[in-house]
Each structure stands twice: as C-alpha cells, then as structure tokens.
Structure 1
Amino acid sequence: MGWAHPAVAMEEVLGLVRGFVDVLVLAGGRASSGTAATWSSDEVKKALRWALFFEEVFKGLRNSGQYEDSAREFDAALLELTSSPEFPKGLAGIRSETLSMARTLVMRHFLKAKTMSVGNFSALLEAAVQTDIDGICARGVCNACQEYADSILDMNLSCFTQTMNACDVGLSTSSDGLRAECTGHSRILVKEFLKTLNSGSCNCLAERGLGTILNSVKRNIFDDGSNEPCTPAILKTQMINEFLMWKQWRAKSLSYLLDERTIRILSGATLIFKAPKEQWMKVFEPLKSVAESSQSGLVEIMELCLLGLIARRWNPLIEGFVSHTFCFVPVSKQYGDLRQCLQGTSHGKFQHELLHSEEKDIFDYARHLLRSKPSILWLLPPVLAAAAMPPQSSLFQIYVAQIDKQFHEAVPADRKCSCRGDGIDQHRNCEITERIQCLYTLHIQQPHLTILE
C-alpha cells in the first residue's frame, strides 16, 4: 500500500531529512568552515525539535497500523537520497528505524563530538532540562521544577528503556511511564552519557594495554620464539651480533606499528578511503600545497596512502612480526632474493586481480606520486614501506630501484648511511640494511602478510 501517514506526505518528510542531516553534522563538532562548532541551548533545542518531528511522524505511522509498508517505501526513497556523492558518508546508513529514535541520534552526536567543551555540554544539558520542564508545564502541573526533580531522582534506566519502547509502538503506559515520557530528553541524555563514559573507559583500557605492549617492545624484551637455547658456545660471534641487530630491528618495527600515533592515523586513513576517490583526493589538496614548499605534506599523504593499503591486513601483520623468529641470512643473499622477485612479473595483472577496488585507487594514487618523487620513501618508516608494497608490483619495483641506487649511483650527498664502500657487503647495521631486512621478512620469509586475496 505504501506511505500511509494521514497528515504528512512522504516527499515532505524526505525533503526535511537533508536539513536534519546538516544538524547532525554540526552536532558532530565542526562548522562548515572546518572550525570547532559552538552551540547555544536554543540551537540544541531546535535540533531536538527536528528529531521530535521525525519521531512523531513514525509514531503516527505505527498508530495507523501500516508502518511496515510505509517504512519500506520510505527506506527505498531514502536509499536513493543517501547514495548521492554529496551526502555525508558517515550518515549514509540513516533509515526509518533511525529516525524513529531521532532524539537519541541527536544526543549521541552531540556527546561524541571531538570538540565537546564545557560550554557545549552545558548548552546540551540546559536544552534537555528546559525542554522537559516546558513539557511538564504544558500538562498544567503547578510545580514543574519539583515534578521534574522527582522524576529524575526516581529514574531507572532499564525501566526507562522499556517505557520508551512501549510509547514507540503506541502501547498504553502507567503513570510512571507518563512521568518518564515528560522527562524523556533528560533521560535519553543520561542514558547516552553513561554509554559514552563506558566507551571512554574501554578506550582508556585499550590504550593502557597498547602502552604496556609498546613499552615491552621499547625495552626489547621479546624473545626469539625458539625453544632451543642460543648461547655463545653454539652461535658464532657474527651470528650473535646479527641476532642482536635483528632484535633491535624487530623492536623498532613493532614500536611504529603499535604506537598510538600510528593507530590514530590508521583509523583516519580507513575513514578517509571509505569515501569515493574524488572526495578523498580533495582532502589531500591542502597537503599538496604544503608539499610545494617542503616535503612534510607529501610525507603525510604517502603515510596515509600506505596505511590505507595495509589496513585490511593490520592484525595479521602485527601477529606476523610478534611471531617472527631469527634466521641468519647474509644481507647480500636477502637483497639478491628480493631482486629475483622482480624477474618476469606482470604488474598490471597483479593490480587488477589481487587488490580490492578501494585499494586499487590508493595504489594508483601512491604510484603516481612516487614516480615523480621516489626519494620520499626514505622519509617513511621501513616497516610501513615494506608492508605496503604489494609483491611483484610497480611500487615494489620503485622501492628496490631506490635501494639499488645506494650501491651504484648515489653521490655522497644522497647516501642514506655512512657505511664505507659501494658493495652491499660493506653495509651492516644501517638504514639500508634495515629496509632490506623489512622487505625480506615480509616478501620472502612471510609473503602471506603482504596480500590477502
């Protein structure tokens, strides 16, 4: 039968959704200029009135007994609206069920804003309290403030949830339920605030756990994963030195992968690259302008791109480094094996058959930048560059060529280490051997970590 609301046309509701989404974006903490948003209690009240309108519309549909058909038709039209490239991707999942709880959605956005300040929180609290007290006054209660205070003091969140659900489906409620309904904004705020506190506690625990692991890595206490004793009596002096350098290299690699800064950038890259390519390329434009005067902007772009390429493989990558065991292989043998990987490969076949569509866009963008400025790879962490290079790809070829130049073409001013001599055997504990070690580990010893099919 389709949309069956007796008083509001579906097109009218759809037309108001975009304005409501703009309200939610502002509630998320940023104005259209990109600066931190500040809110007054009146502005928050307007947002809550928007939300209450949508709740009332869908409550009316439930009362009509034709909610399912109406919601199905509305969601189909809403899907077309949210599929537009200009529609905010973070809210593309908004549907009739979401709008049936619109006030909760508004409160959630206000509370989760990264720019939440004392002033903004005060405005949110004031708006919720005033709206509820105004509602109590409308019922003709003489002492609205006392009624409000009594209701809040008697609040039980579990009962509140049941009461709100009963109101949503049009069931009768008790007098306690009516009292809860009149202080609904405050109750939603309290409930969502408690959820935010719980989430914050979990984040704090996660960060503490990550910090513990990171401190262990920095102290270099990871063992070699072997049950066999490694004593000076068994190992030659050269192998002992190689083993100690390997432990330092692995600890340094894990320090980057587990660092809180890296985790935050990884989260940002994951969010950025979920948008269409045209949108995330625009995000990089300001950084490109910085790159014209210095390399810092280009380094930031490349770090985001490379983290975007390995985001899907992040957990296996960490596990692989933690479980990686020492195996003595001369650096000349490592580099020879890496160069062998480039023989007889088809880069085009790899790009189109093994990468996800999102990763193809990132790969093409990074390849274009590196072809014009390949030296930028030396400013990125060795473990990141190695992990993000798809095996047998053009990025891998560019990277190996950069290392190869260090042995044959680099003038003293362009050398990346102070080792004497041009031969690879002359290099030991330096940046060049560290990058070779990362590539060898991920592309020869543990190739399953460089690609997920």
Structure 2
Amino acid sequence: MGWHHPEIGLDEMVKLVKGFVDILILSSGYQSSGLTAHWDADNIKKAFHWSLYFERVLSDLKDSKYYHESVQELDAALSELKSQSSFPLGLSHISSDTLVRASVLVAEHMIHTLPLRDAHLKAVLTAAIKMDLDAHAKTENDCLSKYLKRLNLLSIDPQDCSTSCEKKSALGEENMDNSYDWTSMSTRELFRRQTAVSDILSLQKALYSFSTTIRAFKENNIILREQLKNAKFSLSEDEMDGFITWNKWKSKSLLYFLDKRTIRLISGVSMIFSSQKSQWIRLFECLANSENLHKRVELLLLGCTVDRWSSIVEHFQTISFDCLTTLDRFIEVQNLLMGRSGRPFPRNENENSKESSILDYLTKILGHELHVLWTLPPALLAAAIPSRSTMLRIYLNQIEIQLKGELARYCGCTEETKEHRDCELAERIWCLHAFHTSNSLANVQ
C-alpha cells in the first residue's frame, strides 16, 4: 500500500524533514554561509513547535499497524536523503525513530551545541516557559499558578537525564497537549551541560598537573644527574648523558600530545575527518596556500592519530632507556620498512581506510615540499605515519640524506661531527625507533 497519511504526502514530509535538518544545523550556531546564527525566544519557540509536529505525525504512524508500510517508506526516503554528499554527517542518524523524539533533538542542539551566552540562555528558557504556559492555558484557567505549583514539585537530578515525558504523570501533566514539560527538560539539559563542563575542567586540571610534572622532570637535568650518581647501579659518563637525552626526548614527546593546543586540534580534526572524504578534501582545498602548508600537514597527521591519542600517550610513558647509537636505531627502523626485522609487524595500514585516505592526500599536497616535514614535531610524525607505508619511506629517505650529509643539515651538528647524538636528527630517529620497533605497539596501532 506504501505511504498513506490523511494530512500529508511522502514528498511533502521529506521536504519538511529537510527543513527540520536546517533548523538543527542553525541550532549549532551557524548559517550555511558561515555567518553566526542568532536565536531569539520566538524562533526557538517555533523550532519547538516544529518538533512537536514531527512527533505527532510519527506517533500516529508508529502507533498503528495500518501505517507500518508508511514508516518503511519514510525511512527509505530518509536513507536516500542521507546518502547525498551535502547531507551533514552529524545528523546521519535521523530516522523515523529519532523524529518521534524530535523535541529532545531540538532541545539538545539548542543547549549543548551553541555557545551558552546570557542572551541565548535567556531565549531558551523564555521559549520553554512560554511553551508550558501556552499548554496550561488551553486546559486550565489559572495557568500561572498551576505552572508555579509544578515547578515546586520539580526536582532536578544532574545524574538523571531522562526526559520529562517519562515523568509527566508524577507532575500532573496528563492534560497538557504538548508531550514535554519544556521547562524541566531545558533545565535538565542545562544541568547535563554544566556537569560536562565541570568534568572537562577537572580533566584540564589533571592534564596541567601531569604536564607540569613532566616538564619539571625534563628541565632539571642537574638534579637527575645527581640522582643517577647516587643510584646503586653505576653508569658511565656517556651512558649518563644518553639517559638525560632520552629523558628529554621522551618528556618532549609527551608534552606535545598533552599540550592544550594539540588537544584542541585533535578535537577539531576529529570532527573534520568524521565527514565524508570529499567534504574534508574540499575543506583543505579552501585552506590551501603556500604559507600554511605546515599547518595543514600537521592537521592531516593528527587526523591519523585522533583515534589513538590515549594509547599514544600511554606508549610514550612506557618507553625504556637503551644504549643504542643513532645509527643502530636507524638501521632497525629501515629493516622494519624493508621487512627484514625479526620484530612482529605492529599494524597493517590497510586496516584503516580513513588513515589511508589521509596519507594519500598528504603525499599529494606535499609533492616536492618535503622540507615541511622538518618543521613538524618528531613525535607526531613517528606516531602518525604507519610502518611500511609510502610516507614512512619518504620520511626515512629524507633522514638518510641528512645522515650522509649530502645536503645542508637541518640539525645543529657540524660536518666534522662523527655521530649524531643530541640533535634534532637523532631525536627524529629515536622517536621512529621508539614508536615503530617497540614490542608494546600492538595496543597502540
């Protein structure tokens, strides 16, 4: 029988869903042009009414076996709509099941995605109160008294995020024609947001404390040297210098990934690369110019690490000191690339199509501008580039050229220096060795 509804046809319903998607996009704070979207109480109230309309129509469809095929037709049409490249990936979960709770979607977007400035908070709460008063006015004479009475009964538990429609009987809302107590729902979402903000602040404090400890350990070489001298085991002067250098590089690697700037970038690239490949490529093409190539390359490399940030930090914490020379480390990494290493191969880069797409695009935009790699943190390159990948081969070739002294050196070593020990080149090789040849890589990559 297909779609059948007494009030609206399928094509018109899909058009209305498109409009509802636009409302949700605008509720994220921006118009399609990129300009800021401003919401006042009246427009928020209109968005609330739209959500109630979808809930009413979808409830009619889902509550009757007679409309079962109509629901299937709608979901099929929505699947076709979502398959379009212009459809926002963040709303790809839209379906008949989500539209039946459209009010929750609107409230969450209005409160959680927009910057919660005073004017916006006032507009949301004003709209919520107006919705509740209008609903009471249709069934009761003294609607304000009834509304205030219900507020007195309201108890908001930040840990209880259930919607008020599940509790309306307890609050005496059976006769209200809208399915939600908008005031309590908005207040509950505000509590959820505040709880999330508090959690983030606590995490930031913990990361700051952790970073401060690492930074102090990195910079106090004199204290570290004295501790090593007083230790039960004996180290030669060269071994002691090597240990201090190892501590410096390890701490520097950790500090990069724990830095507030890095965490913000990872948060951003997580959203960028959650979109379709064609969309994020179009974004990078809009950003393209010769002056910011190193910034674009850093974002692409971070895109390869975004799903493994915690594991990467844990891995750099567990790296042990060794007495290998820089050349020995380089040879081990080369053997891994050529398949001659006896160590277990840590990761098949083909397993992650997203990383593969990012690396392909990275190789393309780098072209002959390989010097850009030397402007990026050694730890990032080591963690982001998969073993046995083309990009690792390119990077190792650049390092080998520097080792042989065939071009002007990027490190501070002079041509008379017999071995790279405490320089940028040695650090880059150490990071590659620490990340690609460690036996603990199974959990990282």
**Residue 262 of structure 2: aligned partner:** 262
**Residue 152 of structure 1: aligned partner:** 151
**Residue 438 of structure 1: aligned partner:** 431
Offset from partner CA, 1:380-418 (integer Å, 9 cap, x none): 11100111222122211221222233344566xx53232
Counterpart CA distance in 1 for 2:171 and 2:384 is 62
**Residue 393 of structure 1: aligned partner:** 389
Question: Which TM-score applies when normalising by structure 1?
Answer: 0.85
**Residue 419 of structure 1: aligned partner:** 413
In structure 1, the residue corresponding to 2:154 is in which secondary structure?
coil
**Residue 215 of structure 1: aligned partner:** 212
Decide which of 327, 347, 366 is 2:362's aligned counterpart: 366
Counterpart CA distance in 2 for 1:165 and 1:310 is 41
* Identical columns (%): 32
Counterpart CA distance in 1 for 2:316 and 2:161 is 48
Counterpart CA distance in 2 for 1:209 and 1:399 is 35
- Give the 3 Å change call, closer, same or farther, for CA 5–212 of structure 1 in structure 2: farther
Deviation at 1:351, TM superposition (A): 11
- CA contact 2:2–2:70 (8 Å) conserved in 1: yes
Counterpart CA distance in 1 for 2:93 and 2:162 is 23
In structure 2, the residue corresponding to 1:176 is in which secondary structure?
coil
Q: Which amino acid counterpart does residue 120 of structure 1 have in structure 2?
A: H
- CA contact 1:232–1:240 (8 Å) conserved in 2: no
Deviation at 1:437, TM superposition (A): 0.8
Deviation at 1:179, TM superposition (A): 6.5
- Give the 3 Å change call, closer, same or farther, for CA 299–114 of structure 1 in structure 2: farther
Is 1:120 matched up with 2:120? yes
**Residue 177 of structure 1: aligned partner:** 173
Counterpart CA distance in 2 for 1:68 and 1:203 is 44
In structure 2, the residue corresponding to 1:421 is in which secondary structure?
coil
- Give the 3 Å change call, closer, same or farther, for CA 337–422 of structure 1 in structure 2: farther
Counterpart CA distance in 1 for 2:127 and 2:59 is 23
- CA contact 1:104–1:192 (8 Å) conserved in 2: no
**Residue 329 of structure 1: aligned partner:** 324
Counterpart CA distance in 1 for 2:315 and 2:164 is 50
Deviation at 1:114, TM superposition (A): 4.3
**Residue 191 of structure 1: aligned partner:** 188
Counterpart CA distance in 2 for 1:63 and 1:440 is 61
Deviation at 1:238, TM superposition (A): 0.5
- CA contact 1:20–1:50 (8 Å) conserved in 2: yes
Offset from partner CA, 1:3-41 (integer Å, 9 cap, x none): 554433333322211100000011011122223321111
1:227-246 alignment to 2 at 5 Å? 231=231, 234-246=234-246
Q: Which amino acid counterpart does residue 92 of structure 1 have in structure 2?
A: S
In structure 2, the residue corresponding to 1:372 is in which secondary structure?
coil
**Residue 203 of structure 2: aligned partner:** 206
Offset from partner CA, 1:270-329 (integer Å, 9 cap, x none): 22112222110111123213x3xx2xx212211111111223333332222111111110
My pick for the range that moved more, 204-213 or 240-249, is 204-213
Deviation at 1:242, TM superposition (A): 0.4
Counterpart CA distance in 2 for 1:197 and 1:306 is 32
- CA contact 2:150–2:171 (8 Å) conserved in 1: no
Counterpart CA distance in 2 for 1:315 and 1:229 is 34
Q: Which amino acid counterpart does residue 198 of structure 1 have in structure 2?
A: T
**Residue 170 of structure 1: aligned partner:** none
Report the RMSD for the aligned CA atoms in angstroms. Answer: 3.2
Q: Which amino acid counterpart does residue 423 of structure 2 have in structure 1?
A: C
Q: Which amino acid counterpart does residue 249 of structure 1 have in structure 2?
A: W
Deviation at 1:233, TM superposition (A): 5.5
- Give the 3 Å change call, closer, same or farther, for CA 181–87 of structure 1 in structure 2: same
Counterpart CA distance in 1 for 2:193 and 2:349 is 42
Counterpart CA distance in 2 for 1:438 and 1:162 is 50
> Which consecutive unaligned segments of at least 5 residues does structure 1 have?
168-172
Decide which of 378, 382, 394 is 1:382's aligned counterpart: 378
